């Protein structure tokens, strides 16, 4: 009897959400991850004598939740910077990509707070790859996933180019998410520190 995918989803989520690696006393026992079974790729694995069905849709949903939250945080930071520094980005365009890519807004911010503008430019580069994966997963549907489950734990690989599923599958999704989380927290810590310093030096916003 095959246990449903809930357990394997919990194990996968533990890695993505808590950055912890679990160990398994089991081996890879069946299907190639590229095969379709009842409409969804899967593997059957054995952990401590029990068989589990791992569907790629569960892993995709975890990635989807991670990257949608990632994008929402960036958009929220953009909103607050827009309000504090009176950049006057229109409501429809008030997104991270607009702030970073549209010169008038970043230049206007640079005139008011050069340190913050430079910080955003720096982190825009660090988060560029993550932003591409976010846009691919959120806007263009199911992304190709390769998995390997062994005594070392769960390994989820993504395409090197998120917009080309034929590109090499050499991006470790768990390591990518760790790096994204690290950089996102760095952006939040440093940007809010600069904004608080500005309040102390120049009084209440908007500036």
Cβ within 8 Å of residue 152, ≥6 positions away: 21, 23
pLDDT tens per residue across span 135-163: 999 888 778 888 876 666 778 899 999 99
Cα distance between residue 99 and residue 120, in whole Å: 9
Predicted confidence at residue 151, as pLDDT, reads 61
Give the global pTM. 0.74
Contact (CB, 8 A) for 172 and 108: no
Looking at residue 196, its pLDDT comes to 94
Picking from 117, 169, 130, the residue whose alpha carbon sits closest to that of residue 148 is: 169
Q: What confidence tier does 82 reach under pLDDT thresholds 50, 70, 90?
A: very high
| pLDDT 10s digits, 93-134 | 999 999 998 889 999 999 999 999 999 999 999 999 999 999
pLDDT band at residue 88 using 50, 70 and 90 as cut-offs: very high
Mean pLDDT for the stretch of residues 28-56: 53
């Amino acid at each position: 009897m095959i246990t449903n995918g809930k357990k394997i989803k919990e194990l996968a989520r533990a890695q993505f959400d808590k950055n912890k690696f679990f160990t398994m006393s089991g081996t890879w026992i069946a299907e190639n991850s590229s095969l379709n079974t009842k409409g969804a790729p899967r593997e059957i694995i054995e952990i401590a004598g029990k068989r589990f069905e791992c569907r790629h849709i569960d892993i995709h949903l975890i990635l989807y939740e991670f990257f949608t939250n990632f994008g929402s945080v960036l958009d929220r930071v953009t909103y607050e910077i827009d309000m504090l520094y009176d950049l006057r980005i229109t409501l429809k365009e008030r997104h991270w990509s607009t702030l970073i890519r549209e010169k008038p807004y970043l230049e206007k911010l640079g005139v008011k707070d050069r340190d913050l503008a430079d910080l955003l430019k720096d982190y825009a580069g660090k988060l560029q790859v993550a932003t591409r994966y976010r846009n691919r997963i959120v806007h263009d549907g199911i992304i190709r996933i390769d998995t390997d489950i062994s005594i070392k734990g769960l390994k989820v690989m993504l395409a090197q180019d998120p917009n080309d599923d034929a590109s090499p599958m050499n991006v470790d999704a768990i390591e990518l998410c760790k790096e994204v989380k690290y950089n996102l927290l760095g952006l939040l810590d440093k940007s809010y520190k600069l904004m608080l310093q500005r309040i102390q030096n120049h009084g209440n916003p908007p500036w």
